[in-house]
């Protein structure tokens, strides 16, 4: 086995596994065999175990005592519960942002919209999914409610995983332009419109999901590194 010339850190390994999950190279529910991953990345099993523990805290990996680690497989019911929770939280976020947001927050949101547009121009799906999640986290941060922000920090990565797993590969994570319409309603302090746009937006994302089981396929472990 050829060892890589540079040392991969735990977060690098976690990032590469995340990419493989988001790009459907590792399907939901697949067992993440420590030994195979250690060989693929040219690192120790201890390092792999630490990376898997990190991913478990983000909800991307499920660790079962004695059975090992698996790519999380959120069910259709999980997805529905997750969106129901976001429909409770995000109208409150939007109302708080309208009350508390300063010009700097709005400028940051608009800069983020430019980044999203750029990623769409390049058809960079993985980046689009990540930026879409970050948009909702930026709003949660601007809301000034630390408890809601903490809840959203738990829900957003799981939403990204659900979108990556169950959305049509060619469709966007968050429908185009909906984020900018929300930001414009916030900038105009039009609370009713901003809340209604946010609820419609969450409905659109949920309705685009296809929650049937993905087909079984062969895994190319050696391709995970590189």
Select 34 or 116, whichever has its Cβ closest to Zn ion. Answer: 116
Nearest distance from C-beta of residue 124 to Zn ion, angstroms: 16
Cα distances from 51 to residues 24, 48, 207, in angstroms, run 19, 5, 33
- Span of 41-49, 60-68, 81-89, 168-176 interacting with Zn ion by CB under 5 A: 168-176
What token pair was written down for 142? 């601007």
The pattern of x and - marking residues 2 through 21 that bind Zn ion according to CB under 5 A reads --------------------
C-alpha span between 5 and 192 (Å, rounded)? 56
Q: How many residues form the binding site for Zn ion (CB under 5 A)?
A: 2
Residue 51 interacts with Zn ion (CB under 5 A): yes or no: no
DSSP secondary structure of 9-58: PHHHHHHHHHHHHHTTSS-TT-EE-HHHHHHHHTS-HHHHHHHHHHHHHT
Residue reference for tokens 């059975």? 67
| By CB under 5 A, residue 174 contacts Zn ion | yes
CB of 53 to Zn ion, least distance (A): 29
- Closer residue to Zn ion, CB minimum distance, 17 or 156: 156
Identify which of residues 132 and 143 has a Cβ nearer to Zn ion in the complex: 132
Q: Which of 145, 133, 55 is nearest to 101 (CA)?
A: 145
Q: Which of residues 103-162 bind Zn ion (CB under 5 A)?
A: 132
Provide the binding-site residues for Zn ion, judged by CB under 5 A. 132, 174
């Amino acid at each position: 086995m050829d060892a890589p010339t540079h040392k991969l850190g735990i977060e690098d390994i976690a990032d590469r596994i995340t990419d493989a999950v988001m790009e459907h190279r590792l399907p939901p529910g697949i067992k993440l065999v420590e030994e195979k991953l250690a060989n693929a990345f040219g690192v120790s099993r201890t390092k792999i175990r630490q990376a898997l523990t990190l991913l478990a805290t983000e909800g991307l990996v499920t660790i079962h005592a004695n059975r090992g680690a698996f790519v999380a497989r959120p069910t259709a019911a999980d997805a529905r519960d997750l969106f129901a929770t976001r429909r409770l939280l995000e109208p409150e976020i939007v109302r708080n942002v309208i009350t508390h947001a300063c010009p700097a927050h709005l400028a940051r949101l608009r800069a983020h919209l430019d980044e999203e547009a750029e990623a769409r121009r390049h058809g960079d799906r993985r980046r689009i999914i990540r930026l879409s999640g970050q948009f909702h986290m930026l709003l949660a941060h601007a809301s000034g409610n630390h408890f809601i922000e903490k809840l959203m920090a738990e829900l957003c990565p799981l939403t990204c995983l659900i979108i990556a797993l169950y959305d049509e590969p060619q469709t966007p994570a968050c429908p185009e332009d909906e984020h900018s319409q929300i930001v414009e309603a916030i900038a105009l302090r039009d609370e009713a419109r901003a809340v209604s746009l946010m609820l419609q937006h969450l409905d659109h994302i949920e309705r685009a999901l296809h929650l049937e089981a993905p087909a079984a396929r062969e895994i190319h472990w050696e391709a995970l590194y590189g």
